[in-house]
Amino acid sequence: MVRRFGPSLALLLAALGAWQGVASLAAVDDLTLASPLEAAGALRADWTLLMENAWITLVETLLGLAIAVVGGALAAVAMHLVRPLRDAAYPLLVASQAIPLVVLAPLFVLAFDYGIGPKLAIVALICFFPITVNLLDGLRSVEPELIKLMRSLGASRLMTLRKVELPASLPSLFSGLRVAASVSVIGAVFGEWAGAEAGLGRLVLLGNNQLQTPRVYAGVVLLTVMALALFAAVSLAERAAVPWKRHGGAT
């Protein structure tokens, strides 16, 4: 642990120190740049408020991610099993990445109102692509020899899917999940910016408008921690689900 993350931690501390130094200069006022200590102070002072809003953002993120996992897995399996569907949908799926989802957020708010709906939609849309594409690639890259073997053993198409293709593509699914987990929080924040009554994203936006710079920084720190925690949770889940691959992180 220390050996792996020690250098990063040292660099982070150095950056924080430099930041603190610059922020403490007489020429820099607190509105322009709050120092790390001020951010920490806000974190302590506004802890309850921050936590209440963080919880809302976390729920949006997790639900959106869950929708993306279910939808993405179903889409990938359907595209894998039905070749014409894949040929038709795959280019569209890739092209859909050109749509700036961020600017769609206000449209979702118009469509779904201010509730949790538009946030879930944005998170799910952002996470859908990496999950679907990675799982589909995983399903397609199963060794042809294994498929032949299963045919020879008399396995049905679905049995081959369940016993060979899906387990074999778990590492790919987790690669997609890791990407999805790290962008999911961004999705929730954009969803909240487009219109929300609560959430860390809204708090940050509000704090910015109200010139509460330290609170904004405190919110950013919490959002970062949330994304890192999600990433770590996915990595842990991968270790549990794919024990036959020791370091799945590299693929």
Partner 1 sequence: MTTKLEALRSEPPSLAQEGVAFEGVGRHYSSRRGDTAALEDLDLRIGNDEVVSVVGPSGCGKSTLLELAAGLQEPDSGAVRVAGSGAPAGRLERTAYMPQRDGLLPWRSALDNAALALECGGVGRAQARRRARPLFARLGLERFERALPGELSGGMRQRVAFARTLLAGREVLLLDEPFASLDSITRAGLQEWLAAILAEEPRTVLLVTHDVEEALYLGDRVVVLSARPGRVVAEIAVELRRPRPRRDVVTDPAFSALRQRALEALAW
Residue 239 as a binder of partner 1 (CB under 8 A): the answer is: no
Residue 158 as a binder of partner 1 (CB under 8 A): the answer is: no
Residue 244 CB, shortest distance to partner 1, in Å, is 4
Residue 11 CB, shortest distance to partner 1, in Å, is 36
Residue 170 CB, shortest distance to partner 1, in Å, is 8
- In contact, 32 and 43? CB cutoff 8 Å: no
Residue 171 CB, shortest distance to partner 1, in Å, is 10
CB-wise, 4 or 246, nearer to partner 1? 246
Element (H, E) at 9: helix 2-24
| Binding test (CB under 8 A) with partner 1, winner from 103, 153, 229, 237 | 153
Residue 148 as a binder of partner 1 (CB under 8 A): the answer is: yes
| Binding test (CB under 8 A) with partner 1, winner from 154, 209, 247, 250 | 154
Residue 243 as a binder of partner 1 (CB under 8 A): the answer is: yes
CB-wise, 153 or 236, nearer to partner 1? 153
- In contact, 105 and 42? CB cutoff 8 Å: no
Residue 247 as a binder of partner 1 (CB under 8 A): the answer is: no
Q: What whole-number distance in Å separates Cα of residue 208 and Cα of residue 193?
A: 12
CA 108 to chain centre: 19
Residue 44 as a binder of partner 1 (CB under 8 A): the answer is: no
Alpha-carbon distance values, 22 to 25, 41, 133, 135, 227 (Å) = 5, 18, 44, 46, 27
Q: What whole-number distance in Å separates Cα of residue 55 and Cα of residue 58?
A: 5
- In contact, 127 and 65? CB cutoff 8 Å: yes
Residue 186 CB, shortest distance to partner 1, in Å, is 33
CB-wise, 163 or 239, nearer to partner 1? 163
Residue 163 as a binder of partner 1 (CB under 8 A): the answer is: yes
| Binding test (CB under 8 A) with partner 1, winner from 151, 208, 232, 249 | 151
Residues numbered 67-96 forming contacts with partner 1, rule: CB under 8 A: none
Q: What whole-number distance in Å separates Cα of residue 80 and Cα of residue 95?
A: 19
The burial class, CB within 10 Å (0-12 / 13-18 / 19+), for 205 is middle
Continuous H helices in 25-156: 36-45, 47-81, 83-95, 101-112, 117-140, 144-152
CA 113 to chain centre: 23
Residue 168 as a binder of partner 1 (CB under 8 A): the answer is: yes
Residues that bind partner 1 (CB under 8 A): 143, 145-146, 148-155, 159, 163-164, 167-168, 242-245
